[in-house]
Structure 1
Amino acid sequence: MTGNEPMRDQAIAWAVRTGDPAFDDWDGFTRWLEADPAHSNAYDKVVAAVGEAVEAVPPTPKAENDDMPAEGPTRRRWIGGAAALTLAVVAAFGAWQFRGGSYTVETAPGEVQLVKLDDGSQIAVAGGSRLVLDRNDPRVASLEQGQALFTVIHDVSAPFRVTVGDDTLVDVGTIFDVKRAKGALSVAVSEGAVVLNPEGQNAHVARGQMLTLDTASGRYRLGEIVTEEVGEWREGRLTYHDAVLADVATDLSRATGLTFEVAPSSAAHRVSGSILVEPIRTDPQTLGPLLGLAVRRDGKVWEIEAN
């Protein structure tokens, strides 16, 4: 089951309900829209698909003894039936096959999903991530949130492109890991190479290198990385070398499905070490001795702080 199916089903349900003239739960609908920015996009896609189907419906023929306009209640009932049928088809096939051929793969925190593309390439999508792909062009992807590992079939004539906000990564090789965080983008390469913004910085990231970009300033830095550590989150391991604790908390939340936050006094604290995800998911306090941290529970949140 793909990560966006529950959202799709909710969008379809809301589209059916809001299309009913008797619908009056606008407060509930508004709360659902505001709960996640992706909800509005999902709902708009469903409504757009139904609208296109409705536009294709021919007007109901007017009987000779019928003084009611062709666009009266009979027409509206016909459209209502067509719209319901369209929604049922969308629900049955479970695909975002709307205008442009784009579709979204969205994972819940703690979930990892493998996507196989038509050209033979594969993308492992980390938990708490959102990736937009195109059925009409398997050589493009857009990482809207989170992290993904790309294993690409290299084609000189059709380079694989990944957009991350306003930035573009162009494949010059095979395997690379991309992470999108607030105000930052990182890419680590274990095979081949990647170019950041060919029309801009034109920064070349080779095997065994990691590039970190400040998306606001456009400044970046290159560093060395152990190739075996690239994408190791797929196997349930996270390794850090002088990493900011706030980034560790984000990674742990994405990998475990739990919520980790950093005490304000430790936001800039840096740590190094390698940890297995599953034991921390079972008992978050085991993180403490591994990275020299204090781990406390506050309701549904696990707060981490430097000792």
Structure 2
Amino acid sequence: MMNEEALGWVIRTRDPEFADWEAFTGWLEADPAHAAVYDALMAADADLAEIVPAEPVSIAVPANDAGPRGWKPMRWPKFAMAGGAVAAALAGVVSLHLMNRPDIYTVTTRPGETRTVALDDGTRVELNGGTTMRFDRRDARFAALDGGEAAFTVRHDTANPFRVTVGEAVFEDAGTVFNIVHSGSMTRIGVSEGEVIYNPKAEAIALPAGRALTHDESGLRVMDIAPDSVASWRQGRLTYANAPVAQISGDIARSLGVKLDATPGAGAMRFTGTIRLDRDPVRFFGQAAPLMGLRAVRQGDVWLLKEGDGPPR
């Protein structure tokens, strides 16, 4: 709420015709934190000016209102954009500042590579291949999955829940082991122990063990899954229940570090079963493709899954 109010004042005070300095001063004096939030947004002004072309204008301070604590209005750019757009841009810049501070660090794995990150609070995060995540040295209860796949074994703390941000979504731990995949506009999560809350301040969908959620361009779906299928890539296998081959292809490519594609017909097919991972692509596709009722053809450095001669086995 405070951030929204501060953004509102930033937008209004940027207007060259703004004159309600008495109300603005009253808002600043109502809570010492108001000035800090407002100043933080204004500190992003230089970066915002690089994003949105600006025409500098001066705002005069009424002689009888110099503002509290020696505060003085500054020289702001005049933006040719609506207030809502300014707010969105400012919020984005502030988020960028937070994510770029020295305490935030990034961990990346190559396709086919895995890595485990042990956080100070006792939480363990296992990154599958082709994954990028951000962590905070000052807050072991924060993680952000920018792309790829990661399995989380979280030390539960009711007073300070562990949160994972994925795009605009937030997953909050409620004593949990879970796995998240994020690729493009698609996010899916499976829970094997405890419970995860999806977007606790919005939808607040509870996902106990044995439940999964997928959010993509077609909408939001919640379904049942086998708990032991969650993050099965850690045991060298991929387990599915009526999953599209297009999804399976992405999982294989990430886990084995191979370039993999599927024809439209093959990608739309569905498979139920377990696929054993093998670092030898020739051996792997020789076993996995027929299991899914498909053929695997090598084209240069890319493998292509095509419709086979029979149904999945």
Q: What TM-score bracket applies, with the shorter chain setting the length?
A: 0.5 to 0.7
1:131 pairs, out of 130, 133, 145, with 133
Superposition deviation, residue 182 in structure 1: 2.6
Partner of 1:255: 255
Counterpart residue type for residue 107 of structure 1: T
Matches within 5 A, 1:266-305: 266-278=266-278, 281=281, 283=283, 284-305=285-306
Q: d(CA) in 1 for partners of 2:196 and 2:165?
A: 12
1:117 pairs, out of 102, 116, 119, with 119
Which structure 2 segments of 5+ residues have no match?
1-99, 309-313
Partner of 1:178: 180
Q: d(CA) in 1 for partners of 2:106 and 2:125?
A: 13
Partner of 2:264: 264
Q: d(CA) in 2 for partners of 1:261 and 1:162?
A: 29
Partner of 2:197: 195
DSSP-derived class of the 1:200 partner: coil
Q: d(CA) in 1 for partners of 2:277 and 2:198?
A: 30
Superposition deviation, residue 279 in structure 1: 5.8
Q: d(CA) in 1 for partners of 2:228 and 2:169?
A: 26
1:108 pairs, out of 104, 107, 110, with 110
Counterpart residue type for residue 294 of structure 1: R
Q: d(CA) in 1 for partners of 2:279 and 2:169?
A: 36
Q: d(CA) in 1 for partners of 2:192 and 2:265?
A: 35
Task: Give deviations 1:22-74, integer Å, cap 9, x for gaps.
Answer: xxxxxxxxxxxxxxxxxxxxxxxxxxxxxxxxxxxxxxxxxxxxxxxxxxxxx
Superposition deviation, residue 255 in structure 1: 0.6
Counterpart residue type for residue 138 of structure 2: N
DSSP-derived class of the 1:247 partner: helix
In our comparison, the structure showing a higher alpha carbon Rg is: 2
Matches within 5 A, 1:17-96: none
Fraction of identical pairs, as percent: 38
DSSP-derived class of the 2:139 partner: coil
Residue range with higher mean Cα deviation, 226-235 or 261-270: 261-270
| TM-score in terms of structure 2 length | 0.64
Which structure 1 segments of 5+ residues have no match?
1-97
Q: Report if aligned partners of 2:129, 2:255 keep a CA contact under 8 Å in 1.
A: yes
Could you list the runs of 4 or more consecutive aligned residues of structure 1 that deviate by over 4 angstroms after TM superposition? none
Superposition deviation, residue 267 in structure 1: 2.6
Superposition deviation, residue 282 in structure 1: 5.0
Residue range with higher mean Cα deviation, 239-248 or 125-134: 239-248
Q: d(CA) in 2 for partners of 1:288 and 1:271?
A: 11
Q: Report if aligned partners of 2:229, 2:240 keep a CA contact under 8 Å in 1.
A: no
Q: Report if aligned partners of 2:256, 2:279 keep a CA contact under 8 Å in 1.
A: no
**Aligned pair count?**
209
Superposition deviation, residue 296 in structure 1: 0.3
DSSP-derived class of the 1:138 partner: strand
Task: Give deviations 1:257-276, integer Å, cap 9, x for gaps.
Answer: 11110013323221222111
Q: d(CA) in 2 for partners of 1:280 and 1:287?
A: 12
DSSP-derived class of the 2:249 partner: helix
Task: Give deviations 1:158-214, integer Å, cap 9, x for gaps.
Answer: 100000001100111120111112322111111110011112111110111111112
Partner of 2:44: none
Q: Report if aligned partners of 1:130, 1:144 keep a CA contact under 8 Å in 2.
A: yes
Q: Report if aligned partners of 1:295, 1:304 keep a CA contact under 8 Å in 2.
A: yes
Superposition CA RMSD, Å: 1.7
Counterpart residue type for residue 160 of structure 1: F
Superposition deviation, residue 281 in structure 1: 3.3
Partner of 1:57: none
DSSP-derived class of the 1:287 partner: helix
Counterpart residue type for residue 247 of structure 2: D
Q: d(CA) in 2 for partners of 1:266 and 1:167?
A: 31
| TM-score in terms of structure 1 length | 0.65
Partner of 1:150: 152
Task: Give deviations 1:105-158, integer Å, cap 9, x for gaps.
Answer: 100111111110000110000001111111110100000001100000000111
Evaluate the alpha carbon distance shift between residue 148 and residue 179 of structure 1 in structure 2; reply closer, same or farther with a 3 A threshold: same
